[in-house]
């Protein structure tokens, strides 16, 4: 399940999407307007854990984190757009983080949900059936979520705490200093998608793939 999210101050527009990016139930977007952005995202995430489609994780996710809401997956239009532009030699305008909380002198125009949806549909069409590109888009978007969460939580100041976190996530560190099994498994899965060995820890190899 996918849900397009367009914040508009404290309010938000949500559009449920099919896997191909088209609005669920027909060609006309069935917009769900809510006066409680945070509460609505929390409820949908808890019940469906969808892939959220939004313009820019760095602008939207911090507000959710501040309210104690975390999401598992997203499609970041800004990050994926940068990847697609790089592949074709197009230039992009860097995203500027913004405070999305409404204020007395807030003059930023709200995004048009129909335009945001059209932007997403164009990206889906450009990605097409390229499994490697689909994986790269998902990984880049996941990285955006991780970056926002790391900014919010901060990094462990204790080496021991850091080691415990790594052990819990990746498994015990091999005594010979080799790659942890969890990362080996991930590398094998990614390589199988591309049909050749690709090191996910190497940005150059990922982009070249």
Centre a 10 Å sphere on the Cβ of residue 178 and count the other Cβ atoms it contains.
10
CB 16 within 8 A of CB 3: yes
CB 17 within 8 A of CB 2: yes
Element (H, E) at 99: none
Q: Alpha helix (H) ranges present in 73-130? A: 77-88, 113-127
Q: How many whole angstroms separate alpha carbon 184 and alpha carbon 178?
A: 10
So what's the pLDDT on residue 97?
45
Q: Is the predicted pLDDT of residue 156 greater than 70, yes or no? A: no
Q: Within this chain, do residues 40 and 104 fall inside the same structural domain, yes or no?
A: yes
Number of domains, the chain: 2
So what's the pLDDT on residue 109?
62
Q: Within this chain, do residues 102 and 112 fall inside the same structural domain, yes or no?
A: yes
Q: Within this chain, do residues 26 and 83 fall inside the same structural domain, yes or no?
A: yes
Q: Within this chain, do residues 20 and 94 fall inside the same structural domain, yes or no?
A: yes
Q: Averaged over 86-97, what is the pLDDT?
A: 64
CB 72 within 8 A of CB 47: no
Q: Within this chain, do residues 138 and 186 fall inside the same structural domain, yes or no?
A: no
Q: Is the predicted pLDDT of residue 55 greater than 90, yes or no? A: yes
Q: Is the predicted pLDDT of residue 106 greater than 50, yes or no? A: no
Q: Within this chain, do residues 169 and 142 fall inside the same structural domain, yes or no?
A: no
Q: Within this chain, do residues 149 and 160 fall inside the same structural domain, yes or no?
A: no
Last residue of a domain, one of 154, 169, 192: 154
Q: Within this chain, do residues 149 and 178 fall inside the same structural domain, yes or no?
A: no
Q: Averaged over 88-114, what is the pLDDT?
A: 59
Contacts of 7 (CB under 8 A, 6+ apart): 37, 54, 60, 63, 100, 110
Q: What residues pair up with 14 in beta bridges, in sequence order?
A: 5, 32
pLDDT tens-digit series, residues 18-27: 988 888 876 5
Q: Is the predicted pLDDT of residue 77 greater than 80, yes or no? A: yes
Q: Averaged over 66-76, what is the pLDDT?
A: 97
Last residue of a domain, one of 116, 135, 154: 154
Q: How many whole angstroms separate alpha carbon 155 and alpha carbon 44?
A: 29
Q: Within this chain, do residues 120 and 57 fall inside the same structural domain, yes or no?
A: yes
pTM of the predicted model, to two decimals? 0.69
pLDDT tens-digit series, residues 107-143: 446 789 999 999 999 999 999 999 999 999 999 999 9
Q: Within this chain, do residues 146 and 133 fall inside the same structural domain, yes or no?
A: yes
Mean per-residue pLDDT of the chain:
86
Task: Tell me the residue range of the domain where 185 lies.
Answer: 156-209
Give the burial class of 30: count Cβ atoms within 10 A of its Cβ; 0-12 exposed, 13-18 middle, 19 or more buried: exposed
Confidence label for 93 from pLDDT (cuts 50, 70 and 90): low
The sign one gets for the Cα dihedral 104, 119, 207, 143 is positive
Q: Within this chain, do residues 25 and 117 fall inside the same structural domain, yes or no?
A: yes
């Amino acid at each position: 399940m996918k849900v397009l999210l367009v914040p508009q101050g404290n309010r938000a527009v949500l559009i449920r999407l099919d896997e191909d990016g088209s609005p669920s139930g027909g060609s006309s977007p069935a917009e769900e307007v809510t006066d409680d952005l945070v509460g609505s995202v929390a409820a949908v995430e808890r019940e469906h854990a969808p892939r959220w489609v939004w313009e820019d994780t760095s602008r939207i996710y911090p507000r959710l984190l501040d309210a104690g809401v975390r999401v598992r997956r997203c499609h970041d239009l800004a990050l994926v757009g940068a990847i697609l532009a790089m592949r074709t030699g197009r230039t992009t305008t860097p995203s500027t983080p913004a405070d999305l909380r409404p204020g007395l002198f807030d003059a930023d125009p709200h995004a048009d949900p129909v335009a945001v949806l059209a932007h997403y549909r164009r990206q889906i069409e450009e990605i097409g059936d390229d499994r490697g590109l689909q994986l790269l888009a998902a990984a880049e978007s996941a990285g955006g979520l991780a970056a926002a969460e790391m900014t919010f939580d901060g990094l462990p100041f204790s080496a021991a705490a850091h080691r415990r976190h790594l052990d819990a996530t990746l498994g015990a560190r091999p005594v010979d200093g080799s790659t942890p099994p969890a990362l080996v498994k991930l590398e094998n899965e990614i390589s199988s998608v591309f049909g050749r060995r690709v090191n996910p820890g190497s940005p150059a190899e990922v982009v070249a793939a």
